[in-house]
Amino acid sequence: MKCIILLASPGAGKGTASDYIENKYNYKHISSGSLLRNEALKNKEIKSLIDNGKFVSDELVMDVLNKNIKKDNIILDGIPRNIKQAKLLDSLFEENNINLEKVIFIDIDREIAAKRVINRLTCEDCKKVYNKDLIDSKVCMICGGNLITREDDTKEVFEKRYDTYLKETKPLVDYYKDKLIRIYNDDTLESLYNNLDKEMR
Ligand SMILES: [Zn+2]
């Protein structure tokens, strides 16, 4: 089994890049958010942590991940989120005979990332994300659901998340320096895809 880790700041387009690699290169996309939300459906402890906005411990995140890796190649998005998780992940890879192929770091200018997050519209139903500047419609082009601004897509929440990222997650760039590939996402979606293709070939 092979694994790609995606590292990125808030608003850098991690979800978009993961989806692209999942569909084109046949990796299973595992995001920390969806992993925990799915687990919460059958695990009361996690459900109560999430419902109360509490922190899910690094060990618990790894346990859940361990249960959800089988034989597919995977792309991890949002895990690891700090050095401690990275070390736990090293052991998990070893136990499961998983080869960490590469770590893709999506880099973006902080101001551009802030602007993207604040301009985001999200479909209430299918969760597809649009940019306010690029869409006239008030409904989703895919499913017809209402487009809304998510409560946490504000400048304040972004700045707070970005500071946490600098403190907790950015040090991983150095931790993984031997496997790291840096891709800039300051430009168009097409150029992001092109850059990913170059690294995936
Ligand atoms: Zn939709």
CATH of 2-109+167-200 given 3.40.50.720, 3.40.50.140, 3.40.50.300, 1.10.10.10: 3.40.50.300
CA 172 to centroid of ligand 1, rounded, Å: 34
Residue 73 CA to residue 149 CA, distance in Å, equals 34
In tens digits, the chain (201 residues) has pLDDT values of 999 999 999 989 888 899 899 999 999 999 988 899 899 999 998 999 888 878 889 999 999 999 999 889 999 999 999 999 999 999 999 999 999 999 999 999 999 999 999 999 999 999 888 888 888 889 999 999 999 998 888 999 999 999 999 999 999 999 999 999 999 988 888 999 999 999 998
CA 122 to centroid of ligand 1, rounded, Å: 8
CA 102 to centroid of ligand 1, rounded, Å: 32
- Return the amino acid letter for 128: K
Domain boundaries, the chain: 2-109+167-200
Reply yes or no: is the peptide bond before residue 10 cis, omega within 30 of 0. Answer: no
CA 51 to centroid of ligand 1, rounded, Å: 24
Instruction: Sort strands 99-107 and 129-131 into parallel, antiparallel or unpaired.
Output: unpaired
CA 123 to centroid of ligand 1, rounded, Å: 5
CA 133 to centroid of ligand 1, rounded, Å: 18
